Structure 1
Amino acid sequence: MRTPTCGPLDLAAWLTSDSMANTTSTASEDISELIAVDEQSQDVFVSRSFPQRTGNTLRIGYGGCTTAVMIQAVCKTVQPQYQLFSFLGSFLGPTSIDHKIHCRVARTRDTRSLASRVVYAFQILENGSERVCAQASADFHVPEPALYTYSIPLPTIDGDGPEDEHHAPSARTLLSRGIEDGHITSSSANSYFTNFHLMDQYFDWRHCLTSTSTQTLLSLAPHLPTTHDSKPLTARPQIEYIRLKCRLPTPSANWAALAFYMDGGLSFLPLHLDHKSLEDAGACSTLDFALRVVETRGMDFGAWHLRERRTMAAAGGRTLSEGWVWDGEGRVVATMSQTGILRPRGEGKGRGKL
């Protein structure tokens, strides 16, 4: 298998150039189109849509778009009885929102119960060269009779679930309260929905009042105190209810949507837990990711789930954070951990280079 190269590139020019603007790279109306892939040749796939950005003013695609497309690609190379249980990889460079994502898959194991794949995601530039964006290994298993079935319990939260608008408000309800109370402006609320439109477009969110950033109005009011301020960062929870606004027809599409969602917010989680924003960091980006899927009964991400995120450790300019997702029956569906780069400001390194 030919491996794409990650050669030198003027990232700042590539990611901000007006000449790169593509009028077709607008957000898809349905997440199934955004994360879908088509086969170009044997084990080579291309995304049906352009990657979209969220939380970034540069022409950089959201990492969840890349991981979702990669999962869809590897799933097309295994039989339906094989279920994804592990997807481990690294982001090697940013994706441009003006180029579709291509995936090249290598089949490294096929047995009666297990299958393994290696996948490279890359984009084809104007000069015809390939620039690699990410690499990952994917492992599949045919479910078997279980000796044990268990999971850690749901976190303790107040309220009666996602329909309890008082204890689990939507972002619009939460920020409307903040505007009425004088803690934030309508301009800052509008900027939030502009910057994070992807999640609001495809998912129903309910932000638990237990969460640190819910108490700071999704970090738009970092000056507000929280009930967790006396705790170390590693003990400050971030909890929300989540579901897709549509239902997806296949396991692979649900796994891809899960990866799309779980990528969100882990790299800058320490900032939000510490009353800070992205403006307080010199660089903030995900380096590697580890998605582990536990469910075997057929995931339906169109039903309500609950996610808790915590940051675990930090040193040397890197952070380690993790998210857990439970279904409506209180079973762990999946986890994702990420190592991120998180540099302080003022050290003379540009934001476009990691």
Structure 2
Amino acid sequence: MTDPLAHLLRVLDLEALGAVEQASAGALVGDDLFRGESVHQPNGRVYGGQVLAQALVAAQRTLADHASRAPHSLHGYFLRPGDLSVPIDFTVERLRDGGSFSARRTHAVQHGRPILSMITSFQELQGGAELAGEAPAAPAPEDVPSAADVLGGIDHPYARHWSDDSAFELRHVDGSLYLRPPAPSERQLVWLRARGPVPDDPFLHRALLLYACDQVMLEPVLRAEGVAWPTPGLSVASLDHAMWWHRDVRVDEWLLFEQTAVSAQGGRGLGAARVWSPDGRLVASMGQEGMIRVPAADAR
């Protein structure tokens, strides 16, 4: 893949198929229907952030009469693993169009069964009170090792994916989880940026932030356990994702993820994040719960 970002932008440009004429799993007659392909992943499964972003794009495409409305929140549930070998169909139910807000329910469907169900709310740009807090202190991204610095020269599918094939560059302030267990901590700071310029479309930048964040949302839980990604027997899968956009964002500028491990129990972990722009503005907040099965300590 010579240009991962360009490929991702093509994947997010869904094909419009019109209205659903016959009800099927996850769809109602009259729902808007779209279709999309997938970005290759070394684990052979569809990346969850991709399905979230595509579902958001599908929902936004149904706002023809309210095109100025931007997504401000969503909640999605991952229901089944995605199949990389077949397209994904997205059905959108138009729940409501009010004076200021619109709501859409989107199902991502493969093999006649939903793999994701998501509700998104959109809002007209409006004025109001401003409150954002303060960004945490962090070294400049230029002073933090990149994934390429850590994984460069390692001939392994995951190493190539994280260092070269991803549309986004990640820089972990206190060391990554790529190779070895980190010092246990319930907090994590990560710099993130797209690997090239992105068109000046505010909605596209919001969709790309949704795509990118799924890469790191559960890492604080692993870090709190002192567990690295290559740990033998480790099993991780996203269960649901909630997100709130507070302000416009540019993903081709460095963004600081301030992350915490909220809880871990019952084979599940909850990670939370606040995302800060380079000038210290809070642009988004998000939370994700996932299945996290960590092998016994003597097997690590």
TM-score past 0.5 threshold: yes
Shift of residue 102, structure 1, vs aligned partner: 1.1
Q: Deviations along 1:156-213, whole A, 9 cap, x unmatched?
A: 223xx23x3xx3222223456xxxxxxxxx537x554234367x531233332xx2xx
CA distance in 1, matches of 2:131, 2:218: 29
Q: Which of 138, 150, 155 is matched with 2:131 structurally?
A: 150
Partner in structure 1 of residue 180 of structure 2 = 221
Deviation at 1:288, TM superposition (A): 0.7
Distance 1:305 1:268 in 2: 17
1:90–1:27: structure 2 CA closer, same or farther, 3 Å change rule?
Answer: same
> Which residues in structure 2 correspond to 1:102-141 (within 5 Å)?
102-123=89-110, 125=111, 130-141=112-123
Distance 1:338 1:281, change over 3 A: farther
Mapped to 2, the partners of 1:281 and 1:320 lie a distance apart of: 20
Q: Distance in 1 between matches of 2:244 and 2:232?
A: 31
Q: Is 1:62 aligned to 2:47, yes or no? A: yes
Q: Which residue of 2 aligns with 1:169?
A: 145
Q: Give 2:216's aligned amino acid.
A: G
The structure with the largest alpha-carbon Rg is 1
Bigger mean CA deviation after superposition, 84-93 or 300-309: 300-309
- 1:73 partnered with 2:58: yes
Q: Assess, with a 3 A threshold, how the Cα gap between structure 1 residues 205 and 196 changes in structure 2: closer, same or farther.
A: closer
Q: Normalising by structure 1, what TM-score?
A: 0.72
Residue in structure 1 matched with residue 29 of structure 2 by the alignment: none
Scaled by the length of structure 2, the TM-score of the pair is 0.84
1:194 corresponds, among 155, 160, 163, to 160
Residues 10-89 of structure 1 correspond to what in structure 2 (within 5 A)?
29-42=6-19, 43-47=32-36, 49-53=37-41, 56=43, 59-78=44-63, 79-89=66-76
Residue number in structure 2 paired with 1:292: 244
**Aligned with 1:205 (options 160, 170, 174):** 170
- Structure 1 CA distance, aligned partners of 2:49 and 2:163? 14
* Fraction of identical pairs, as percent: 24
Distance 1:309 1:145, change over 3 A: same
Q: Specify whether residues 252 and 68 from structure 1 end up closer, same or farther in structure 2 by C-alpha distance, changes over 3 A only.
A: same
Amino acid paired to 1:66: V
Provide structure 1 residue ranges, at least 5 long, that are not aligned to the other structure. Answer: 1-23, 177-185, 347-354
Give the 3-state SS of the residue equivalent to 1:313 in structure 2.
Answer: strand
Per mean C-alpha deviation after superposition, the further-off stretch among 257-266 and 267-276 is 267-276
The answer to whether the 8 Å contact 2:148/2:163 transfers is no
Gaps of 5+ in 2: 20-31
Amino acid at match of 2:253: A
Q: 1:246 to 1:197 in 2, by over 3 A?
A: same
Structure 2 counterpart of 1:315, which letter? Q
Q: How many residues align?
A: 280
Could you tell me which of 198, 201, 216 is aligned with 1:265? 216
**TM-align CA RMSD:** 2.5
- Offset of residue 277 of structure 1: 2.9
